[in-house]
Chains A and B, each alone.
Chain A
Amino acid sequence: ILNVEQSPQSLHVQEGDSTNFTCSFPSSNFYALHWYRWETAKSPEALFVMTLNGDEKKKGRISATLNTKEGYSYLYIKGSQPEDSATYLCAHSGSARQLTFGSGTQLTVLP
């Protein structure tokens, strides 16, 4: 089993703060890196899929970067809002068909 690690495990920020979290993954056998957002009582929803070293993706106030050579990805949230409160999951693909998920970063944005 490939090891995907996310840090921190949980995070509390004030509304308006910017924040970021890290996903570390094995740098060998890289196919893709996914980010998902999982809100309480809902299904996980895809944020980004990145496949190339140096990829940067952006959706509104959320962005992500990818470094496949050193095996990490950062997720950034600018100006956090209470509706950003969720668990953020990253998933690494080291094969053509499977994803290996990290345990997630639980973000709470305080109003």
Chain B
Amino acid sequence: DVKVTQSSRYLVKRTGEKVFLECVQDMDHENMFWYRQDPGLGLRLIYFSYDVKMKEKGDIPEGYSVSREKKERFSLILESASTNQTSMYLCASSTTGPTGGAYQETQYFGPGTRLLVL
């Protein structure tokens, strides 16, 4: 059974703080993703990584950075938290398909971190 865990379910931070959200998967997946979910907007991709130390920007990378030093761990960093980053953050992982892409591979999601920035 694939397991994706996230470091916190709920987090409250102050404006300007540096925030780390951690995600760990135990299935040796090559690909990891960070999304945020806001009402009416669905899941929006922030960053993804298809290999250790590799990262690519998603659709809304501004204000975020990521780190992937080990295959199983993918961290999302809010360098200086702002109130508009209050959201639900979901991490996901997937394997790589036979053609080298991830498009047809199921993504396995963590339980989410609900972040409130005051």
Show the binding face of A for B, using Cβ within 8 Å. Answer: 1, 4, 9, 31-32, 34, 42-46, 49, 51, 89, 91, 93, 95-104
- Chain B, interface residues (CB within 8 Å), range: 20 to 34
Total contacts A to B, CB within 8 angstroms? 66
Main secondary structure of the interface of A (DSSP, over half): loop
In the complex, the answer to whether A95 meets B106 with C-beta atoms within 8 Å is no
Q: A32-B103, A43-B111 are in contact. Are A101 and B56 (CB under 8 A)?
A: no
Q: Contacts A97-B31, A97-B102 given; indicate if A43 touches B112 (C-beta within 8 A).
A: yes
- Residue contacts A-B, CB under 8 angstroms, 21 given: A31-B101, A32-B103, A42-B111, A43-B109, A44-B107, A46-B107, A46-B108, A49-B106, A91-B43, A95-B103, A96-B99, A96-B100, A96-B101, A97-B48, A97-B102, A97-B103, A98-B103, A99-B45, A99-B107, A101-B42, A104-B42
